[in-house]
A and B are shown apart, each in its own frame.
Chain A
Amino acid sequence: DAGITQSPRHKVTETGTPVTLRCHQTENHRYMYWYRQDPGHGLRLIHYSYGVKDTDKGEVSDGYSVSRSKTEDFLLTLESATSSQTSVYFCAIRKSWGLAPYNEQFFGPGTRLTVL
């Protein structure tokens, strides 16, 4: 258990409405990630953060924005939700192991988002 929570766990919304998903960690890890999981696509990176106010895009960032104002919270926003953004969203953190080149990421429980 890496101390990661996601909220809400389920959400149904309508096309065109804004949606914000929250990821919260309790262990003060520097790196945080947002993924979406879709059948046939596996896990795809949306955005990630390498520190407070430091974020970068992943492979499927269009239509999404993120913010990180505190180490423990990483927010994913869909400014105007579309049906193609119906998915399961996972937050992850990367634990650092000193100088070792380890890159394990640990995932939250996920948020199932349905856009009607």
Chain B
Amino acid sequence: DQQVKQNSPSLSVQEGRISILNCDYTNSMFDYFLWYKKYPAEGPTFLISISSIKDKNEDGRFTVFLNKSAKHLSLHIVPSQPGDSAVYFCAASAVGNEKLTFGTGTRLTIIP
């Protein structure tokens, strides 16, 4: 049972345009959500997070939106840059739970 789903295995976006990566979850106990970025042959790096008490969190070119009623979050990258080409994982955790549940990842390719 995949509790965190990233339904798009890959996404290609023109440099300078907006990249939108999507994530859906099924567990209503999840209350904290994170995005990680992973380059080949490296460990995932934390990118941005959002608590369920918010619907938006912004950090430079990266913004995460949370729609609790739809159990959906998205990561917006604008403008997209070649260095953004990577695999992006969303993750979720529940109150009092020290574990993260990850999605299967979306490979983002920025086209120069």
Contacts and interface: CB of A to CB of B under 8 A. Distances in A.
B105 A42 contact: yes
Nearest to A31: B98
Say which size band chain A's interface belongs to: 20 to 34
A22 interface: no
Contact of A48 (B31, B32, B89, B99): B99
B104 A104 contact: no
Contact of A102 (B32, B41, B44): B32
B95 interface: yes
A104 B103 contact: no
Interface in A42-83: 42-45, 48, 50, 58
Given A42-B89, A42-B105, A110-B41, A103 B100 contact: yes
Nearest to B6: A42
A4 B91 CA distance: 20
Contact of A109 (B43, B89, B98): B43
A88 to B, nearest CB: 9
| Binding site secondary structure of chain A | strand
A92 B102 CA distance: 13
Interface in A67-116: 90, 92, 94, 101-110
Contact of A43 (B42, B44, B51, B97): B44
B100 A106 contact: no
A52 to B, nearest CB: 16
A104 B104 CA distance: 18
Given A42-B89, A42-B105, A43-B89, A105 B43 contact: no
A78 to B, nearest CB: 20
Contact of A90 (B32, B43, B46, B91): B43
20 contacts: A31-B98, A40-B104, A41-B104, A42-B89, A42-B102, A42-B105, A43-B89, A50-B98, A58-B99, A90-B43, A92-B43, A101-B32, A101-B51, A101-B95, A103-B32, A104-B46, A106-B45, A109-B41, A110-B41, A110-B42
